[in-house]
Amino acid sequence: MFCEGPADFQTASNLIDRVLAKEASWAADLLEQYPESVREWVLDTQGEPFFKVGSLDQYVRSLGPLRRPQGHFNGEPGAADAIMGRTAFLLAREVSKRGPAIDAVCLVRDMDDQGADRRRGLGQARSEAELLSSFRTVVGCADAMREAWVLAGFEAESPDEVERLEDLRQALGFSPCVEAHRLDAKDESAKKSPKRVLRVLTLGDRDREARCWGESPLALLRDRGDASGLRSFLDEVANTLGGLTRAAGVRS
């Protein structure tokens, strides 16, 4: 997994497990009790179960010497995040050579205010990697950021939450859960900051936040997450990682 930090890893990995449990019935109970028997995350150089996209140069130095591909992508200049994606997939190939073979690589990234460019750049990097690598790829583009995916699963559980959600809806002019992609402010104190809105709704409670993606129906997350990239991510997980898991069940 390549992502921006622990919260991103927790959200993405938990969603992946939920999808795998649905796609491969044999894996559901195992994921609950012995998840490593179904899937195991490769540890980074610090023992974390994910690689930080902001530390790719450090990983390259620690695993070096590595020869990074240079130049354009299929004859075109790289868009935003294309080089980052190229480096991530290069690292994954190198790690796979030195240890157990990697079946799949997940790259999850906030789009911030560069959604179209970052999607294009990550697509360029993935297309290049698919020609050079044996592993499958899943790319998650959280638009504008991870918190939009969390908000998609928020359903009020108490009168206080109903009131806070209604206050936000009136202040914003739209539902921050149904249209979380419209929360695009990077300033965390801004009215349309997804981080601020999530903090208001959950009162900063991490367990309450986790229930948004961990307990809300996947169908609801897909429906509300169409414009934020969540539906696309869940579908990629189902088709790519779910396919690998179903095949493993048949072989066993």
Name the token pair of 117: 């460019």
Please determine, for residue 160, whether its predicted confidence score (pLDDT) is greater than 80: yes
The more confident residue out of 200 and 252 is 200
Residues 110, 117: Cα–Cα separation, whole Å: 12
Residues 175, 194: Cα–Cα separation, whole Å: 12
Task: Tell me what percent of the residues of the chain surpass a pLDDT of 70.
Answer: 98
Residues 144, 238: Cα–Cα separation, whole Å: 22
Interval 106-144: pLDDT, tens:
999 999 999 999 999 999 999 999 999 999 999 999 999
- Residue whose token pair is 């690689």: 51
Q: Output the pLDDT for position 246.
A: 86
Task: State the angle between helix axes of 82-98 and 115-132 in degrees (0 to 180), rounded to the nearest 10.
Answer: 30
For residues 51, 124, 101, 21, the Cα torsion angle rounded to the nearest 10 degrees is 80
Q: How confident is residue 247, by pLDDT bands cut at 50, 70 and 90?
A: confident
Please determine, for residue 252, whether its predicted confidence score (pLDDT) is greater than 70: no
Helix (H, G, I), strand (E, B) or coil at 5: coil
Q: What are phi and psi of 109, to 5 degrees?
A: -145, 135
User: If you average pLDDT over residues 233-241, what whole number do you get?
Assistant: 97
Average of per-residue pLDDT values in the chain: 95
- Residue whose token pair is 């020609």: 131
Q: Output the pLDDT for position 250.
A: 53
Interval 54-90: pLDDT, tens:
999 999 999 877 888 889 999 999 999 999 999 999 9
User: If you average pLDDT over residues 85-104, what whole number do you get?
Assistant: 94
